[in-house]
Amino acid sequence: MQVPQDGEDFANQLWYHGLLSRQKAEALLQQDGDFLVRASRSRGGHPVISCRWQGSALHFEVLRVALRPRPGRPTALFQLEDERFPSLPSLVRSYVTGQRPLSQATGAVASRPVIRQGPVRRSFSEDTLLESPARIELPRARKRSDSQPAGLEHMGRSREDHSGPGASAVPTCALPRMGSDPVLLKTPAPLGSVIDSLRASDGQLHAKAPTKPPRTPSLVLHDASGCPPTYCELVPRTPSAQGTPPGYSSPETEAPWWEANEEEEEENRSFVRPKAEVSFWPPNNPFCLLGPQNRPLEPKVLSTLRDLFLEHHPGSTALHLLLVDCQATGLLGVTKAQRGAMGVASGLELLTLPHGHRLRLELLERHEALALAGALAVLGCAGPLEERAATLRGLVELALALRPGAAGDLPGLAAVMGALLMPQVSRLERTWRQLRRSHTEAALAFEQELKPLMRALDEGAGPCEPGEVALPHVVPAVRLLEGEELPGPLDESCERLLRTLHRARQMARDAPKFREAAARRLRGFRPNPQLREALTTGFVQRLLWGSRGVGAPQAARLEKFQRVLSVLSQHLEPDV
């Protein structure tokens, strides 16, 4: 089915039923996969996705994360488990069209919307979830007693929370719904907060403000990380359950998929013949940064991406790239169904087998696309010379953050070095001279450390010890297994062939150790959803070739884009 895409006001979507009780919603869900979105009266009008799965009705509360207002970006993000979206319709589209589980704990998949009958009935609390500035200002009305000074709010409460009479006083960021835990949705549990924070914009600041005595809470807010409270607009505070019945877990105990311990059933597991080739590339996944149809190299998207990468230091970008590379390679996030279909436990083993042809092609496609995108980042700088030199320095610092001993993402390192060593980039003599003059340390690291390291990795002689490396360099083995001939004299190419095959065998054997090393590096990591999306293979393809050109044969696409890069390089520094 196709979810409506017109408009971001979710009240106009046919799957949204407005204020609807839990019992009435369950009566409308007849078959597995049926779903609807409703406003929960017990949650102050917050959206809840109700879905029937395996004969049971499950309810998933959608968390709304308020952002500081900035031009050109949404005022809030909507979150289900660990992924955030700029609007509720985009969240529903992503989970329905991609047929992804609403929660990893239940595996529930929403596939058929239950269409509402008649117009939707909205409450005042629902209006606060929409992004109209007028609606956002309405909840600023004083919902306090005279003893409470204006401008004081409970920690974790956003200005959208204060709805009219009858609405719940639950903070917006207080109840992230990550599973099908029915305890959190049966009866409204009062929440207490003992810390009040001052809002300077109200202009009424008091040294000591009288506070109301809090009610005895059944849920106590605390910082999820266990550290002292700090402000972060993308990491909401989450509640921990007190006195939860056995068998239920609070949301913060549910680890992201890259932190979860994958089941290993090697001892009692019998061999199962592979059923089909497995792809770790999500098909037809909608993107928040790209529309349904886009042209190649849209200036607005490129500007957004540039700002996005500038906001993150190289270490953070390296972890984002490691996370996406681990998923694309099939090292982390492999489901039980995928393991059964491919007959092995990870993509590092699959790519060495005959039925790993599809995975090998996907990894080659990803390597080429990321290298072209990195080269474009340099060649697309038509401004001052120093700006291009700064971009080169950024790529060098990212490569240093990806090398063994750091993030240990060798496929990501190979893609970044592929961009830096591309002929169209290497010929920019004035730009490299400016790099050596203005950023000498980065230039020396590139020449003395990164280039020798990359040469050794390509020849199958570089470091590949699990722990020092989280994800090994798979491109040489993939090229070899796909029939690509090795350059050089016969004796040298034969020696390199044996080293590459031996390294591929070691990678398959040590796949569990690499998985453990990658999960250890990503433990506690919370990615930026937009940056994570921008590093996926599908997004980079759409960015470079557009929604129409991405369907062309790979050889034609690569040849065409190489010509584009050559033109850009000649325009920046013409031949004398």
What integer pLDDT is reported at residue 261 of this predicted model? 54
CB within 8 Å of 499: residues ≥ 6 apart: 459, 460, 461
Secondary structure (3-state) at 17: strand
Q: How far apart are CA 493 and CA 491, in angstroms?
A: 6
Walking along the chain (576 residues) 10 residues at a time, the average pLDDT comes out as: 45 84 89 90 80 89 80 79 83 86 86 83 44 37 40 39 39 39 40 38 41 40 38 36 37 54 49 70 76 91 91 92 95 87 90 92 95 95 91 96 95 97 96 95 95 92 90 94 80 85 93 94 90 94 92 91 94 85
Please give the pLDDT value at position 539.
Answer: 93
CB count within 10 Å of CB 512 equals 17
- State how far the Cα of 422 lies from the Cα of 458, in Å rounded to an integer: 15
Full-model pTM = 0.58
pLDDT at 570: 94
Determine how β-strand 83-85 pairs with β-strand 76-80. antiparallel
Place of tokens 């999960």: 519
pLDDT of 363:
95
pLDDT for res 152: 36
Domain boundaries for CATH 3.30.505.10 within the chain = 10-135+172-190
Comma-separated ranges of CATH 1.10.840.10 domains in the chain: 299-572
- Half-sphere exposure (Cβ direction) of 374: Cα atoms closer than 13 Å: 30
Q: Which CATH superfamily is domain 10-135+172-190 in?
A: SH2 domain (3.30.505.10)
Q: Which residues pair with 34 in a beta bridge?
A: 112
Contact 346, 515 (CB under 8 A): yes
Q: Please report how many Cα atoms fall inside a 13 Å half-sphere around the Cα of residue 262, on the Cβ side.
A: 23
Which backbone phi and psi does 299 adopt, to 5 degrees?
-60, -40
Residue 166 burial (10 A CB sphere; 0-12, 13-18, 19+): exposed
Fold (topology level) of 299-572: Son of Sevenless (SoS) protein; Chain S, domain 2 (1.10.840)
CA distance 129 to 113: 21
Determine the pLDDT at residue 388.
94
Contact between residue 22 and residue 58 where contact means Cβ atoms under 8 Å apart: no
Rounded CA separation 82/84 (Å): 7
